[in-house]
Structure 1
Amino acid sequence: MPLLINGVIITDVPNDINSLFNNYPQLEESSLRLVSLDPKVVSPVALVYVCQREYAIVSPHDKSISIVGTDDTTTCCMAVLRHSTSGVTSLAHFDGSAPQSTNKYIENMIKRMEEMNISVGISDGRFELHLIGGFNDSRHYSEDLVLKLLCAYHRQTINIELVTACVCKLNNTIRNNINWPVIYGIAVNVKTGDIFPATFTDKGPDIPLRSARYYTGCHEMLDIYDSNMSLLRIGPFNYSPMRGVDLWLQQSDEFILQHLSTSPEVEPPNFVMSARTTLKFIQKNPFPGVTIFADNRPRYYRKDDLTGQWLPICY
């Protein structure tokens, strides 16, 4: 089935984002609500945080997790897919790095969500899609990514209703004659389906390891959470040593900002510090498949329900 908006079939995905908004003006309503909200500060308790090039699928019956979230998006897009009957929810942080594989990753997400529905005896209902993020960036990275995502969801064989498209110009504001994104991060309450702008006090374990993937050519989207077992799962994956990492670390903050960001004018304040931390990790760990993922085994974590911290476990 193709994408639907208010029950109306989108026969073809438009070639530009303005045509989408002109043809379906009702998409602006949900966007106006989202951009009018102040971001909530989300604690680590009951949270699974999704990094760039990752996704997590969470059941509302999960005893450890009730919030899934992500942030630090500028030209990236956050995609929430939720089943209207079961409440099973996926959150993906797409950056457009592997457009030829996007359809495969979305198929994998839907397959897992359908398996979770079948396991609890649910066969009716629909999938509801919310796309949030991106802005009117000068290189049109955001628009290209959103259109590719819409095409990928449009190719799916299930019924998907596009409920929210708070993207590009609907997530844009102007400061000092520069376009900026309004929403940098979101969280989803998987119990209620409520979606809201968010920032996070803690993003979980292995952030430099997880971030190293997008400086070293790892384009795969990783599924990081097992909701049946309530386990965070990182890896296994490998990457090649980063050429010139020593030289990168000698550069100025401005050089790193300009050359490692798709939107250097509007990055959050922590961008360069996070990039340096990740580069140092890559420098120290050039072969994670050998030094970190021994015997090709993932790193598993279980949530401490009182503190919200992820505690490592061994299998």
Structure 2
Amino acid sequence: MKSFVIPLIVSLGVSVLLLGLAITFGGPKPVAALDSISEPFKNLDYSELPEVSFFNARDGQALAYRFYPPTFSSAVKAQVKTEAQIESRGSVVLVHGSSASSQSMHQLAMAFASAGFSAYSLDIRGHGESGKSGDITYLGQLEHDLEDFVSEVKLQGSKSLVGFSSGGGFALRFAGSDRQVLFDNYLLLSPFISQDSPTSRNNGSGGWVSVGVPRLVAISILDAMGLKLFNHLPVIRFALRETSKVKLTHSYSYLLATNFRPKADYNANIAAIKQPLSVLVGDRDELFNPKAFTGLFETTNAKVNIIQGVNHVGMILSPNALDKAVTQLAALVETDSAKRLESK
């Protein structure tokens, strides 16, 4: 009996020691700033940035968003055909990328508002003015937050969810869930899929993130065992400069990193999508492999378009990409409206 028990105790002791070392010393390392991501935002005009509004999530936490009412540019007014279209083309909810906030989506939100959409740019929990920076309380809380937003704000007309980068990955997660019918259309802009996806580059998404793999693996093992004590520790860091005029989130806890992305089985996540969905990505994206997106979605009804001359951040900043995003979403909304009329 002793010959069995002693090796078992030693094995358990070694396992506990290794897990402890991984959690203590295996966190994300500092990473050199990737200026192609942050620098383009420095000289933008935020003079028309709306004030932050708040809605209450089910746990009582006030979460932030910015509202852009539809304005309709003269060019768009010339294109629309009915008075109803002029009043509103529907509602668009925007989800920012990793480390960012609603402010980063300002140019895109303005573009949608100018095209007649009611645009709402969120501070996802753990970012900006929403909750504790870099952390959430439980896995699945972000889905609950988005559901609570839709319920409280009462979006008008056709409802569309638009996500950029990690926000695009989260939009994909939502689009493949049981809650997907809360939105009529989905638009993903250079979405993060997975570190294991053919869309990802080999050097930490183009050098944008540092992943504490030992800590991540150790926490996931303990979490699977029901031990959630370390779920709030940071497991990824972003390639940001420490000084910034904009409020950024420099790292994600295990919980936030796991929730703000597609599900682990991203192929099943994609296959579960029933709502209309389109993907846009720039051909010069330095974080992801643009051509791989077409193959990833080829078995679905999703439309994938590659925009020439646009890098990663350019998807939400360059005039060409903004125009493509508005045009693509307008096409989704018009197709959806036509189908609704046919069914009546």
Q: TM-score, with normalisation over the residues of structure 1?
A: 0.31
State the structure with more CA Rg. 2
Q: Identify, as 1 or 2, the structure richer in helix.
A: 2
Q: TM-score, with normalisation over the residues of structure 2?
A: 0.28
Q: Identify, as 1 or 2, the structure richer in strand.
A: 1
